[in-house]
Amino acid sequence: MTTRPDGAPEAPRAQHRTKYLALLGALVALVVAVSAGIYVTAAAGDHTRDGTLADDRPHRGSAAPVSTGTWVGSWASAPVGGEPGTETAGLAGHSVRNVVHADAGGTSARITLSNLYGQTPLDITHATLALSAGDATAAADEDTMRRLTFGGATRVVIPAGEQVVSDAVHLLIPHDTDVLVTTYSPTPSGPVTYHPHAQQTSYVAAGDRTEDSTGAPYTQQTPYWRYLTALDVLSNEADGTVVVFGDSITDGITSTVGANRRWPDVLGDRLRSALAGGQRLPRYSVVNEGISGNQVLADGLGR
């Protein structure tokens, strides 16, 4: 045994090592205990700002669970201009239910809303996404109704000339399926950013009817797509997206309304059929950004 300068005996090295290992063991146990507490808290369910469980909401939270796949475009449409007749009030106090057709299927979805041609901020206080209950109807499959959020909030204000992408929601969307995207704005927003030659019937209802699944309040039909410019899906069917540009031939201005027979639609169907038949082709979804009257070297109706 050695001694310190003051003559007191110094503990053996083995004793120091024992104390060190005991302290290290205590720290490890503390870390394990804290980690277990965090896990138990997380497993109990996420909480909203008001303290309620996210799982208690009637519509599932906006954050999509961990999943495999690639984010691809399933549907898109070019914003063409400000809708005539909406220059002052926009569509204040109305729910707009856009009907779009998913080219690629996926397990989660997100949308893009545009106020590109607006002159004042667009206040969206409520938005939903659901699968259609059937062809040529505003009715939704009630079990698929999802409330959309933007940065975790159900309300979003889109400045004039800008767009916004929603948070992802978990929803199984089969390919070749109609999807309903509904928005509600309570205040005047000026010109409504729209695509006039949708070749698809969409719907409008008075008041906030975004979560109505019956479709009964949607008594007004429209040939336009409003505000909505893209639907993306987390897909295992596609690894990328073909974006088609062109004029009225691409836009499908003479195709049958509601039949999804524009040539980009046919291209998407042919790619999918060829892949199912075993042909070695790239796995791409197809979206249509055609604008009737569009020109490459000069300004036109679709400038």
Answer whether residue 298 is part of any domain: no
Answer whether residue 118 is part of any domain: yes
- The whole-number pLDDT of residue 297 equals 81
CB atoms near residue 108 (< 10 Å): 22
User: Residue 150 and residue 124: Cα distance in Å, rounded?
Assistant: 10
Considering the entire predicted model, what is its pTM?
0.78
Residue 213 has pLDDT above 90, yes or no: yes
Give the amino acid at 254.
Answer: T
Answer whether residue 103 is part of any domain: yes
For the chain, how many structural domains are there in total?
1
Answer whether residue 18 is part of any domain: no
Q: What is the pLDDT of residues 236-263, one digit of tens each?
A: 999 999 999 999 999 999 999 999 999 9
Answer whether residue 156 is part of any domain: yes
Domain span at residue 79?
Answer: 71-234
Answer whether residue 31 is part of any domain: no
Q: How far is CA 229 from the centre of its chain?
A: 11
Q: What is the pLDDT of residues 45-72, one digit of tens each?
A: 333 333 333 333 344 444 444 467 999 9
Answer whether residue 290 is part of any domain: no
Answer whether residue 144 is part of any domain: yes
CB 80 within 8 A of CB 196: yes
Residues in the chain: 303
